[in-house]
Amino acid sequence: MTGAAALNWSDERRRWSQFYAERLAAQLRQAVVLLDGVPPDRLRPHFDTTLSLLNATAARPDLVAPWLALVDRLHPLPVRWGQWAAWLAVLRRAADKAAGTGQPGRQAEYLAYTADLLLNTGQLAPALDIAQKAMNLARPAGAAWPLGVAGAVAAAALRAMARYEEAQTLIHQTRAAMERTPSPMPPARAALATALLDLEQMDLHRVFKQLPAALALGEALIPRLSAVAGIDPHDLANAYVRRATIIWVSGRYEAAANDLQRAAALFRQADDPLQATFAEANLGTVYYSMSRYGPAEAYKLAAIRAAEEVNARAQLVSEFGDLSTIYIALGRMEAALDYTNRMIALAAELGNEAELSRGRGNRGYALLGLGRYEEALDDIQFGLNLYQQQGRLEGTIITTVDLILYLRGLGHTEQAAQLAQDNYDAAWRETFPHLHIVTARCLALFRPLPEQDQLLQQALALAREHGRPLDEAGCLFSLSALATDNDERLALYQQGVALLEQMGCPGWLEGRSPAEPPLLPMII
């Protein structure tokens, strides 16, 4: 190649590079204008192109303003479309750009969104660290919105780590700091910032055994958000999901199911099929409590597939645990053991102490069901110790039931009986009907005949009142074993059989008869 030709080629390449750079800048600015006001369903098909444009212009210091404007236009839609990994990278860049241009309030906002995505992918420690950085930037900047978002994320991360007192302190501090921030927010955003903290407070009320306070907060939250003009259906849907959890704990299963069905519809209205699937997974939990195991299993399996696609590991570890409990109820102990093993491994990897204790307790129960008593003890004691350290009443009581069944299985009846009485007394000092049912069934195993009947009748009435057919069937089988009249025994047994067949778990009847009825699981 001659020198002249090489020079011409170099000039040509320079001209094309300049042309491309100018075209990119024009396209970026044009995208900001063109996408303004476009409905999400029309934006979604163009996300890949828009992401390519953001990536191609990310290194241009002269395009920071339109680049961030485009990010602002899109967020949080890519998250709702399941583009978690790609959008996480964009948010990190956005925070750096805001920092480079001296905008601490804006930087705090992008960091808060980053922390929220990290929380959903199960990265608890990084989520907490970045949320705290966002809060430290937002306070002096007077930025109330990122302060509220980051405070809620940090509290959720601490709660997952079972650091409950720290989470409570942080919520109080965040509320106080938000009240001192001078920057005004639009009404919808102000309402949501407060609601995010209320949602975390609601769950902490449950942890601290303050169920009436949790219910009161939940009941007030939905009407308050619904009354705000311009509230995003997606945010309202989140509130329905979180309230449903508290209503579910109180034993009002139909009301909880209604909340979750509303949430799923609102998520789909907001173009977020992923969160709709996760809301239906929670509906599966409610159906599990109602002993509707077929739809419960289907919803859980769908949520696991969806969570695996986007690496939503915080959701995944929860679904593994719920599905293992469904399989315990169905008597499929090998399947339950498989999912508890997966849950335990993931919870340990994530540092999620709350789910780790649940997973170990679930695995202990599955091992008991398989007759592997010596293996079960280590899991039961681990889960029980962790629940006690965390001060978690529900987990402590239900895992104590596991320990009682372990002791009974090895013939340590006197020790098991005393523990069953203590556990029953502890449960009935609180307002958790599912714990009342299970501990009454458990204590009945050890009491004299008249007391057994009284305890089982008490549990049976509660099971029917709160729509728990598995417990109802368990009470009927135990009552049939107490009956001295053959006709009464057979009638009670057949009622239990009908419920098992209705629930789709007749496997419990294998090798059983009215003379030797099954002992159904005592789980929540």
Instruction: Give me the mean pLDDT over the 110-129 stretch.
Output: 96
DSSP per position, 84-144: HHHHHHHHHHHHHHHHHTT-HHHHHHHHHHHHHHHHHTT-HHHHHHHHHHHHHHHHHHT-H
pTM: 0.84
- The Cα angle at residue 131 between residues 129 and 135, in degrees rounded to 5: 115
Q: Read off the pLDDT band of 20 (50, 70, 90).
A: very low
Q: Residue 364 CA to chain centroid, in angstroms?
A: 22
- Separation CA 135–CA 112 (nearest Å): 8
User: How many Å is the Cα radius of gyration of the chain?
Assistant: 27
Higher per-residue pLDDT: 262 or 40 = 262
Q: Residue 308 CA to chain centroid, in angstroms?
A: 15
Instruction: Give me the mean pLDDT over the 436-444 stretch.
Output: 97
Please tell me the predicted confidence (pLDDT) of residue 249. Answer: 87
Of the listed ranges 32-46, 110-124, 478-492, 507-521, the one predicted with least confidence: 32-46
- Separation CA 293–CA 222 (nearest Å): 29
Strand, helix or coil for residue 38: coil
* Each residue's pLDDT tens digit, 170-223: 999 999 999 888 767 888 888 999 999 999 999 999 889 898 999 999 999 999
Instruction: Give me the mean pLDDT over the 486-502 stretch.
Output: 96
Please tell me the predicted confidence (pLDDT) of residue 36. Answer: 78
Please tell me the predicted confidence (pLDDT) of residue 12. Answer: 44
Cis before residue 76, ω within 30 degrees of 0? Answer: yes
Q: Is the pLDDT of residue 262 over 80?
A: yes
Query: Could you write out the three-class secondary structure of 167-196?
Result: HHHHHHHHHHHHHHCCCCCCHHHHHHHHHH
